[in-house]
Amino acid sequence: MTNDDLNAKTGAVADMILSSQKVVVFTGAGVSTESGIPDFRSPEGIWSKFDPDDFTIEKFLHNPETRKKQWRILVEGGLIADAKPNHAHLAIAELERLGKLDCVITQNIDNLHQKAGNSPEKVIELHG
């Protein structure tokens, strides 16, 4: 695909969004990777650094060390707390400011949509 093709397709999508009454946006891990939050399955993702079995419900419930390890990852890692919204988050927040956004359905529990300016009641965090 050439740059001209990409620009034409991007423009067509932008026109569809702006001419719509309401838009629902779906996001997943890829939208937050630019903000420094790793996804799970890419070569640099979470699974490349940790054993996926540590994230099973069985191991979590029956192994105190697994629970401590996961808590350290969340609290000490600082990845989520230090992350800033990127251009994608800001563009989605702009859709809300324009009155076009019905809601954001996201698999991300990183609060970046809200930090970008989306109303908490417009963000549905759904993962698992």
CATH number at residue 99: 3.40.50.1220
Assess whether pLDDT exceeds 70 at residue 128: no
Considering the domain boundaries, does residue 56 fall inside one?
A: yes
In-domain check, residue 106: yes
Residue 17 lies in a domain: no
Is 75 contained in some domain? yes
Residue 11 in domain: no
Distance CA 62, CA 124 (A): 30
pLDDT digits (tens, 9 = 90+) for 87-100: 999 999 999 999 99
The model carries a pTM of 0.75
Nearest to 110 by CA among 37, 46, 45: 37
Buried-exposed string 88-121: b where 16+ CB fall within 10 A, e elsewhere: bbbebbebbeeebbebbebbbebbbbbebebeee
Helix (H), strand (E) at residue 27: strand 23-27
Find the catalytic residue in 87, 89, 113, 127. Answer: 127
The count of structural domains within the chain is 1
Range of the domain at 106: 22-125
What are the Cα distances from residue 54, in Å, to 27, 68, 69? 25, 11, 9
Contact indicator for 82, 59 with CB cutoff of 8 Å = no
Instruction: Flag whether 35 is in a domain.
Output: yes
Q: Is residue 88 part of a domain?
A: yes
Residue 52 within a domain: yes
CA distance 114 to 98: 16
Give the DSSP H/E element, type plus range, for residue 12.
helix 3-19
Whether 113 is catalytic: no
Q: Which pLDDT tens digit goes with each residue over 12-34?
A: 999 999 999 999 999 998 999 89
